Copies of this chain bind each other. A is one copy, B any other.
């Protein structure tokens, strides 16, 4: 169950409202790198957690914190929209180039749909999508998903930090960047607890590795048509990172055959010409159906 405090987790102040920056901030709310995604990713992982209790708890803690981050960003969007004007009237268009230019960078739905408030969309106006909420039921896979989310999230936050010189916004972003630092470390700590790379991989480590094809599990396969142009590196020689095999470089070559499918089913109504046998006459079961 959840509770709230009306105050924000951290100060949100906008010195000079900027509707184009409001649009950019939406990426951190409703984008695939955004807070709605991490919030629900951690909460759904918690709610479906079947392993040791402590991971459920930890996920619940941080998922709950993230709701407050959406709140901070939604507030920042609204504050950046104060006084925004989407009007295309004569007094504006063609007279005030700055207003116009900024208008070009504004999300029109910030005026039309919400009357100057945040939306559950990204910086292009594309709605948040529940498919982004990843919880595999495998703790290690989920921890990587979470490190990824906090890494992409911190990259995004540093770009937003570069894009503004508003002191209030830079301060808020400096807080969010710090939290992303912690959260990266936090999910890495779980991976360390799970035994580190050598114990964790290959994920899932509960699948008997003897069942995987032993001829292909540590080979770097190249698809370059020039056999001598290879992308050699740490991944083509030496012990594999999981310690369970030896890297090898191998030119790609097909092992399988050319696939052949049966003729079309008469009920599926391909063209008649697709349903002939090798001697060129229509296959019997098609003829009967016609």
Contact = CB atoms under 8 A, between A and B. Distances in A.
Contact of A262 (B50, B109, B175, B208): B50
A102 B164 CA distance: 17
Interface string A71-115: 110110011001101111110011001101111110111011111
Interface residues of A, number: 202
A271 interface: yes
Contacts of A3: 2-5, 64, 223-225, 252
A195 B136 contact: no
Contacts of A178: 212-217
Given A126-B124, A151-B203, A264-B50, A7 B177 contact: no
B112 A48 contact: no
Interface string A248-290: 0000111111110111111111111111100000000010011
Most interface-central of A54, A112, A184 (chain B CB within 10 A):
A112
Given A8-B259, A233-B193, A273-B139, A47 B65 contact: no
B1 A5 contact: yes
B124 A8 contact: no
B219 A182 contact: yes
